[in-house]
Amino acid sequence: MDHNDHLNLLRKGITEPGGIWADIGSGRGAFTLALAELVGSSAEIYSIDKDRRALRDQARSIQARFPERPPGRTHYLVADFCQPLNLPALDGLVMANALHFIRDKNSVLQLLHGYLRPGGKFILVEYNIARGNPWVPHPIAYSNWEDLAARNGFVRTQLLAARPSRTFQEIYSALAIKANQAHS
């Protein structure tokens, strides 16, 4: 996949620039770059990963690709997303190819749910497969994602985009919304 693929997987879920967003399990930042392009330089982005070196590489990539992005608008947090994080209320978050490493998805989804403001967007990018393997040990096929999202307080879950994957059939993106408090 290339940058345009990353943009196309996120684009329908990010309808306006600005806000406070996070990329959870961001790795070297392929989707953080796409997120930064779609939310623009006025948005604040929190990029979270356990790999300090990957975050350093990512910071260099963001600066090179978006030199107009004000310093301090992108925050790099070396952290385990399975543990509570100190984040402001988020307008949205992206989690690309990270949730499939977690067996107990409910506990992580409850943490993520708590970071979003009511009406906040959760964009999941995952392989659309049902059986695990060494590289994707605990996959989430889209048909399972709808139920899992609903059980964890998300509403209006919808498939955003899908594209063939050279490795595992198909990769998809889906949007889920944190219910407004009045509707919870």
Could you report the per-residue pLDDT of 70-85, keeping only the tens digit for each?
A: 878 999 999 999 999 9
* Residues forming a β-bridge with 176: 122
On whether the CB atoms of residues 183 and 155 are closer than 8 A, the answer is: yes
**Is the pLDDT reported for residue 58 higher than 90?**
yes
pLDDT at 164: 85
Tokens of 167: 């490795």
Residue 140 three-state SS: coil
Phi, psi of 163 (to 5 degrees): -150, 150
Domains of the chain: 3-85+104-183 (3.40.50.150)
Residue 170 CB partners (closer than 8 Å, separation 6+): 127, 128, 129, 162, 163, 164
Sequence letter at residue 76: Y
In contact, 155 and 177? CB cutoff 8 Å = yes
Q: pLDDT tens digit string along 119-173?
A: 999 999 998 988 877 787 788 999 999 999 999 999 999 999 999 877 778 999 9
Say what the pTM is: 0.94
Which pLDDT does position 181 carry in this prediction?
Answer: 62
